[in-house]
Structure 1
Amino acid sequence: MHTKDSTAPALKNNRFVKVIECPRDAMQGWKHQIPTAVKVDYINALLRVGFDTLDFGSFVSPKAIPQMADTEAVLAGLHRPIHDTRLLAIIANRRGAEEACSHPEVGYLGYPFSVSETFQLQNTGATIAESLERVFDIHYLAKQSDKQLVVYLSMAFGNPYGDAYSKDIVYHWAQKLAHMGITSISLADTVGLASPSDIFHLTKHVVDALPEMEIGVHLHSRPGEVSEKVAAALDAGSRRIDGAIGGFGGCPMAQDELVGNLDTSDIVSYLHAHGYETHINGEALDEARAFAGTIFV
C-alpha cells in the first residue's frame, strides 16, 4: 500500500472541484445521427463554460460507435479554449491511442478498464489481463506524447452479470494501476447500481488507500438523486466529478431510460451552494444547456 508523502496532490484537502463535462457520453448512444457541424458548435459552446475537462469524443471503431466516427473532423473545428479546459478522448486500444496522440489539442486519453471480466470483453474485446497490458502500453505512449492517461474503472459499484465483486476487488485493480504510474482514475457506476452509501464507502476506501492518486467519479443516476450522490463522493474525498448537461447519456445496460449521467447543472448548483469552488461561468453554462435542448430532442 502506498503512503502519503509531501508530493501528494492537495486536491482532496481543498474546496476546489474539477467538473468534467461528457458530451461524448451524451452523444454516443443518441438515436439520431448528430451532424458534425452541430457537434462542433455545441462543444465550442461548452469550451466557453470553464470546465476542467471535456470528454469530447472517442477514437474507436466507427462500427462499434457510429456516432463518434467524425471525432477527428469535430476536433478540427474546435476553437482553442478560452479557459484552461483540456480535451479528453476515449480510446480502447493502441491504434486509437496512437490516433489520439497524433492530435496536440488532445490533453487526456481515457481508457475504460472494467473490474467485470464480462463487461471488459464486451466493451473492448479484451480480458482484464489483456487490458492491463494495454494500459501499460498506452500509458507509455501517452507520456511520450506529453499527454495523461485517465483510467475509468467501470462496473466499480457492481455488475449485472454475476461476476465477482467487492470493494477490495476494485482496490486491487486501482492499486495495480497506481503501481504502473497511473495518477488519475475515475470510479464508474456503469449501470447506475450505486446508492449514496455505496459511493461513499468505496470512494473513501480508495481515496484513503491511494492518497497520491486523483480519484474521480463517473456516476449514473435517476433524476432527483444527483445531490445525494455528489455529496457522498465529496464527503469521501473525491474532487473530480463527471457529468453531462441535461443528464443525457449513460449506459443502455441499465435498462432504465431514467438512469443517465449526473446532470451537470445539478452538480454545479450543489457545489456552489455548499461552498465548493469551480471555474464554471454560470451564464455560459445556461447557454450551453439551451443549446443541448435543441440537440437532444
Structure 2
Amino acid sequence: MNRQISLTEVVTRDGFQIEPGFIETEYKIDIIKRLIKTGIKRIEVTSFVHPKYVPQMRDAEAVFQGIAEDKPSDVKFISLALNERGIERAVAARTDEINFAFSASEAHNMKNTQRTVAESLKNIKTLVKSAERENVSVNVGIATSFGCPFEGMYQPEKVLNVVQKVIDMGISSVILADTTGMAHPKQVRETCQQVLDQFPQLNLQLHLHNTRGMGAANLLAGIDAGVTQFDSSVAGIGGCPFAPNASGNICTEDIVHMLHLMGYETNINIDPLLLIARELEIKLGRALPGQVMKAGKSTDLHSADWQPA
C-alpha cells in the first residue's frame, strides 16, 4: 500500500466561498503563504467566476498577484473556472491547473449551473480544449458523486457511467466529490475500487465533506481502495452554496494528525498548521469544526499534577 498521501488545500476557495462577510485580500494572501511553509504543495486558490454569484471570489486576480512572488517551483496553484472568460482570467493570472466541475445529479447540476448534465458535459469539453491550447493542466470534478440531497444515494454504476463520459473527452484527472457529505465508507471503497479497476490509468482524487461525521472514515476507505490524493480545508470550513446543509470539508489538520499517527506521510508540518487553524477561528469569530486545534495532538502529554479547572 502507498504510504504517501497528497492533500490539496481548499480553504481559500471552497472554505471561504460561503462566508457571509468578505474576507480581505491581504488575509487570503497571508494564509496561502503560511500554508506553503507548512509543506502543503497543492492549493486551490480561488474561483474565476462572476462576483454576482460568488462575491467572496471577486479579488481572484489580486490574490494570485499577491502569492506569485517567491512561489516555490514544487507548489501548484489551482483555480476553478466555469466558462471561457474564467479560463482567460485564470491563464492571465498564471494558474498551474484549472478545475472544471459539474454534478452527477440533474437536480443539483441545474441549481448549480442552470444546465442539464449533458449540457454541462458539452460545455466542459469545449473548455478543456481551450485550456489545453493554453498548456494548462485540467482536472474535472464530479459533484454529488455518491449521492444527492434531491435524488438520493447513488450506486457505483452511476459514477462509472459519468466517469466514462469524462474520460472520453481525453481527461486523465478526475475528482469525485461527496458534495453534501452523504457518502459512507463502504460506498466510497466500493465506488473507488470499481473506478480504478475500470480506469487504471486515471488520476483519481476525492473531495470529501464531513457533514455527517464520516469524512475521516471515508478518506481511509478511499485509501484502502487505492486513492492517494484528497482535498481538505483548514479547520474543516466550507460547503456548497447550492445544496441544503452542505457544511464542512474534511479538516486538513485533523486528517494530517490521523494519517501521521497511522504511519502515512504527508510532508506537512502540523504545528504551524494548527496555529493557522486557531487564528482562523478567531478571524471568523465562531467555533470551527476542527478538533485537534481544540484538544491538541494525541502526542501532547500533560503533567500528572493536572487538575480540572
Same fold per superposition (TM over 0.5): yes
Q: Do residues 152 (structure 1) and 141 (structure 2) align? A: yes
| Letter paired with 1:50 | G
Q: Which moved more, 1:22-31 or 1:223-232?
A: 223-232
- Compare CA radii of gyration and give the structure with the larger one: 2
Closer, same or farther: CA 83–45 of 1 in aligned 2, 3 Å: farther
Aligned residues between the structures = 283
Distance 1:62 1:217 in 2: 27
Contact kept, 8 Å, 1:150 with 1:186, in 2: the verdict is yes
Closer, same or farther: CA 164–109 of 1 in aligned 2, 3 Å: same
Deviation by residue 1:208-227 (Cα, 9 ceiling, x = unmatched)? 21110111110111475333
Contact kept, 8 Å, 2:180 with 2:245, in 1: the verdict is no
Contact kept, 8 Å, 2:5 with 2:264, in 1: the verdict is yes
Question: Which of 283, 295, 308 in structure 2 is aligned with 1:295?
Answer: 283
Which residue is 1:244 aligned to?
Answer: 233
Closer, same or farther: CA 165–195 of 1 in aligned 2, 3 Å: closer
Once the two structures are TM-superposed, the CA of residue 193 in structure 1 deviates from its matched residue by: 0.7
Q: Do residues 220 (structure 1) and 239 (structure 2) align? A: no
Superposed, which structure 2 residues align to 1:143-292 within 5 Å? 143-162=132-151, 165-222=154-211, 225-252=214-241, 255-256=244-245, 259-292=247-280
Superposed, which structure 2 residues align to 1:120-139 within 5 Å? 120-139=109-128
Contact kept, 8 Å, 1:121 with 1:127, in 2: the verdict is yes
Which 5+ residue runs of structure 1 have no aligned equivalent?
1-12
Q: Which moved more, 1:141-150 or 1:189-198?
A: 141-150
Q: Give the SS at the match of 1:54.
A: strand
Q: Give the SS at the match of 2:148.
A: coil
Distance 2:170 2:24 in 1: 38
Distance 1:254 1:192 in 2: 11
Once the two structures are TM-superposed, the CA of residue 246 in structure 1 deviates from its matched residue by: 0.7
Q: Do residues 96 (structure 1) and 67 (structure 2) align? A: no
Contact kept, 8 Å, 2:182 with 2:212, in 1: the verdict is no
Q: Which moved more, 1:211-220 or 1:172-181?
A: 172-181
Once the two structures are TM-superposed, the CA of residue 111 in structure 1 deviates from its matched residue by: 1.1
Closer, same or farther: CA 227–191 of 1 in aligned 2, 3 Å: closer
Distance 1:164 1:226 in 2: 16
TM-score of the superposition, structure 2-length normalised?
Answer: 0.85
Q: Which moved more, 1:188-197 or 1:76-85?
A: 76-85
Question: Which of 77, 80, 88 in structure 1 is aligned with 2:70?
Answer: 80
Deviation by residue 1:159-195 (Cα, 9 ceiling, x = unmatched)? 1222794321211111121122211111101111111
Aligned sequence identity (%): 34
| Letter paired with 1:101 | V
Deviation by residue 1:91-138 (Cα, 9 ceiling, x = unmatched)? 11122112112222x111111121111221221232212211222222
Alignment RMSD: 2.0
TM-score of the superposition, structure 1-length normalised?
Answer: 0.88
Closer, same or farther: CA 51–59 of 1 in aligned 2, 3 Å: same
